[in-house]
């Protein structure tokens, strides 16, 4: 579904992504791991068009999307969440999700129809499935950090994506929140047949959930494969897991 | 639901105010009728600007230009051609929207403050044309005694005309704000990056908002011609733009009706304090400083916080009432 070949991106002299490779098959739950500053977020920003690569290919269903702006990539079925909670702070939880559902259904430009009556069912269904239905009238800015992160995922779901990209979905969460969030992500993948690409710090989380793991260090891919393969890879052990 | 309650309450208040305004000409002296009409015109202008500033976070620093373009288009057509009056009235807002599209296309590529700076420069070009093209526009003097159609020529009839148009425009603006378009615009205001990531073409959406806002700015320009019967370059000068910007901030730029309040206040200040001293802007300056320190969300924004404090009530639904 998604294939990345030899991707490069520099900021001035700093090579943030320097030869990244990644394959995501349909229906897979794929994790990207790597130490701080390894280029995980940059990689995701390149995929979803927030940044443009200097070199290399990003193929979505065999179409090169590396030069497209974010909103076009989104319409091709790629939705994402961000590492810092990136919601619409002054809007209600309901409207946060509704904005993306409206966009998905190409209703964003309707001028004289009350938005309050549009796509209500779809939006409520998403809120229910992530467990935010009770808080739907709250102002998004007033939510707890954990709930904001969940809301982010809900916004991304509003686009009915084929590929969902989550940038450290559990960053800053308590252990309990992490467990419930990962369970939520796995359930979404199962129930809605989503393909999910995420990056994560927590080793346990990654090896417990992902079907395929890509290890990135200093912008370059070291290896990608099944969890047990990655665990046994010597280079990975040295670079990231530490010698044991 | 509190949201419902606020809605009903503000609907009741609006109807009451409207009825009082309808009856006003029967008990107010003529000067005050004229004065109210000026407030209506300015209120519509501020409301149109607030679509960009408050609901779109677009720093439309030179909105007065579109007011001026609307007024000049209608005024010139009425004074210099024999076209039917309604054509002139329609042409004003359309010309303003077209100017909005042209200037917006350049400005929209820039972000926030630079957007505003470029708009001031491009807008000043239009001002310079109105100021210098003496044969057409009458230059510095402008054009006075523009022939207004008979049925709206008297103070009272023009008052009713302006009130009616203002009412219609407010309803339209309200609907737009509550529509998916308005909802999306507010989402862009809060977080443009996130909006792009959910598939919204942010710049195009903002440009549409500018065109709509400038259209209504043009409507205000037409109403100005109806009330004053004249046009002059000050309409397009940047100090006026600054004034209406302040009206939005003062009234509450995240609220729906805030700019009306701001307009009423500043027009009153200009009219009443302006008769005593030409330094009325000094008072405006002091008020502005106080505003920044004590009421950063404007008078209406403050009311919302005070009246409906807990988390549910101060919701996004309530805020734009």
Its sign, for the CA torsion B258, B260, B266, B268, is: negative
Q: At residue B317, does pLDDT exceed 50?
A: no
Nearest CA in chain A to B198: A100
Instruction: Give the best residue of B183, B192, B206, B305 to mutate against chain A (max A CB count within 10 A).
Output: B183
A183: its two tokens: 């369970």
Q: What angle do CA A194, A138, A171 make, to 5 degrees?
A: 50
pLDDT in the model for residue A173 = 86
- Judging by DSSP bridges, how do beta strands A29-33 and A195-199 pair with one another? parallel
User: How far is A141 from chain B, CA to nearest CA, in Å?
Assistant: 10
pLDDT in the model for residue B249 = 87
B63: its two tokens: 């909105």
Residues 170-209 of A with CB under 8 A from B: none
d(CA B40, CA B227): 10
- CATH fold for the domain made of A2-89+161-241: Rossmann fold (3.40.50)
d(CA A97, CA A126): 8
Q: At residue B309, does pLDDT exceed 50?
A: no
CA–centroid distance for B244 within its chain:
7
pLDDT in the model for residue B303 = 64
Q: Give me the domain span that covers residue B146.
A: 2-319
Partner-chain contact A110 B180, CB within 8 Å: yes
Q: A9 and A211 in contact (C-beta within 8 Å)?
A: no
To the nearest 10°, report the CA torsion of B133, B136, B142, B147.
Answer: -170
pLDDT digits (tens, 9 = 90+) for B106-162: 999 887 789 999 999 999 999 999 998 888 888 888 899 999 988 998 889 999 999
pLDDT in the model for residue B52 = 93
Produce one character per residue of A137-167: b if its CB has 16 or more CB atoms within 10 Å, e if not: bbbbebbeebbbbbbbbbbbbbbbbbbbbbb
Partner-chain contact A90 B315, CB within 8 Å: no
Other CB atoms within a 10 A radius of the CB of residue B198 amount to 29
pLDDT in the model for residue B231 = 93
Contacts of B197 in chain A (CB under 8 A): 48, 50, 70-71, 74, 79-80, 82, 156
Q: At residue B224, does pLDDT exceed 90?
A: yes
Q: Quick one: angle between helices A93-104 and A120-130, nearest 10?
A: 120
Contacts of B319 in chain A (CB under 8 A): 90
Q: Which residue has the higher pLDDT, B190 or B278?
A: B190
pLDDT in the model for residue B311 = 40
Q: At residue B267, does pLDDT exceed 80?
A: yes
pLDDT in the model for residue B321 = 32
Segment B86-110 shows an average pLDDT of 95
- In chain A, the largest separation of any two C-alpha atoms, in whole Å, equals 65
Residue A116, chain B, CB below 8 Å: the answer is yes
Partner-chain contact A99 B202, CB within 8 Å: no
pLDDT in the model for residue B318 = 39
pLDDT in the model for residue A175 = 87
pLDDT in the model for residue B310 = 40
Segment B310-318 shows an average pLDDT of 40
Size of chain A, expressed as the number of residues it contains: 244
**In chain B, how many domains are there?**
1
Partner-chain contact A90 B186, CB within 8 Å: yes
Rounded to 5 degrees, φ, ψ at B232 are -155, 160
**What percent of chain B is predicted at pLDDT more than 90?**
55
d(CA B72, CA B221): 8
- What is the residue-level pLDDT of chain A in tens, covering all 244 positions? 899 988 999 898 888 898 889 999 998 999 998 888 888 899 999 999 999 999 889 999 989 998 899 999 999 999 999 888 789 988 999 999 999 999 999 888 888 888 888 999 999 999 999 999 999 999 998 999 889 999 999 999 999 999 999 998 888 888 888 888 899 998 988 888 899 999 887 777 888 888 999 988 888 888 888 888 888 888 877 766 555 4
Q: A105 and B207 in contact (C-beta within 8 Å)?
A: no
CA–centroid distance for B97 within its chain:
14
**Using CB atoms, which residue from B189, B208, B317 is nearest to A92?**
B317
What confidence category does residue B169 fall into, taking pLDDT thresholds of 50, 70 and 90?
A: very high
pLDDT digits (tens, 9 = 90+) for B292-306: 788 777 776 766 665
CATH number at residue B58: 1.10.3470
Q: Which helix (H) or strand (E) holds A7?
A: strand A2-11
DSSP classification of residue A237: I
pLDDT in the model for residue B314 = 39
- Judging by DSSP bridges, how do beta strands A2-11 and A29-33 pair with one another? unpaired
Q: At residue B308, does pLDDT exceed 50?
A: no
């Amino acid at each position: 579904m998604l294939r990345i070949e030899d991707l490069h991106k520099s900021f001035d002299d700093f090579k943030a992504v320097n030869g990244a490779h990644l394959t995501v098959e349909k229906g897979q739950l794929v994790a990207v791991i790597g130490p701080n500053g390894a280029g995980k977020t940059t990689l995701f920003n390149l995929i979803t068009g927030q940044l443009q690569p200097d070199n290399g290919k990003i193929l979505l269903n065999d179409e090169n999307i590396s030069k497209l702006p974010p909103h076009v990539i989104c319409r091709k079925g790629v939705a994402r969440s961000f590492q810092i909670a990136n919601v619409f702070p002054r809007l209600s939880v309901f409207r946060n999700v509704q904005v993306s559902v409206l966009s998905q259904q190409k209703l964003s430009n309707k001028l004289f129809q009350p938005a309050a009556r549009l796509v209500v069912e779809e939006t409520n269904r998403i809120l229910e499935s992530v467990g935010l239905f009770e808080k739907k009238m709250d102002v998004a800015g007033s939510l707890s950090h954990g709930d904001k992160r969940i809301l982010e995922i809900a916004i991304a779901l509003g686009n009915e994506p084929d590929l969902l990209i989550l940038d450290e979905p559990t960053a800053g969460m308590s252990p309990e929140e992490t467990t419930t969030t990962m369970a939520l992500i796995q359930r979404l993948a199962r129930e809605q047949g989503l393909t999910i690409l995420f990056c994560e710090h927590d080793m346990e989380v990654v090896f417990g959930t992902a079907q395929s793991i890509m290890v990135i260090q200093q912008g370059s891919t070291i290896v990608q494969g099944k969890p047990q393969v990655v665990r046994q890879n010597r280079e990975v052990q040295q670079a990231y897991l530490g010698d044991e | 639901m509190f949201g419902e309650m606020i809605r009903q309450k503000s609907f009741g208040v609006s109807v009451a105010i409207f009825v009082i305004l309808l009856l006003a000409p029967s008990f107010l002296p003529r000067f005050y009728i004229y004065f109210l009409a000026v407030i209506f015109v300015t209120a519509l202008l501020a409301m149109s600007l607030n679509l960009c500033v408050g609901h779109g976070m677009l720093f439309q620093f030179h909105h007065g230009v579109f007011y001026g373009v609307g007024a000049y288009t209608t005024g010139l057509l009425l004074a210099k051609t024999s076209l039917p009056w309604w054509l002139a009235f329609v042409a004003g807002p359309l010309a303003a929207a077209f100017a909005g599209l042209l200037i917006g296309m350049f400005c929209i590529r820039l972000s926030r403050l630079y957007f505003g700076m470029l708009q001031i420069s491009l807008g000043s070009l239009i001002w310079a044309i109105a100021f210098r093209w003496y044969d057409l526009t009458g230059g510095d003097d402008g054009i006075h005694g523009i022939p207004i159609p008979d049925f709206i020529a008297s103070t009272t009839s023009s008052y009713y005309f302006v009130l009616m148009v203002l009412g219609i425009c407010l309803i339209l603006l309200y609907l737009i704000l509550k529509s998916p378009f308005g909802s999306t615009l507010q989402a862009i205001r809060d977080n443009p990056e996130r909006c792009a990531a959910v598939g919204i073409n942010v710049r195009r959406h903002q440009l549409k908002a500018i065109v709509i806002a400038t259209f209504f700015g043009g409507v205000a320009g037409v109403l100005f011609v109806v009330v004053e019967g004249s046009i002059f370059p000050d309409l397009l000068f940047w100090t006026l733009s600054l004034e209406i910007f302040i009206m939005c901030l003062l009234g509450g730029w995240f609220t729906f009706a805030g700019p009306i309040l701001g307009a009423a206040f500043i027009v009153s200040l200009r009219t009443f304090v302006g008769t005593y001293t030409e330094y009325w802007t000094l008072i405006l300056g002091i008020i502005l400083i106080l505003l920044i320190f004590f009421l950063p969300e404007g008078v209406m924004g403050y009311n919302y916080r005070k009246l409906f404090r807990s988390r549910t009530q101060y919701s996004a639904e309530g805020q734009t009432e």
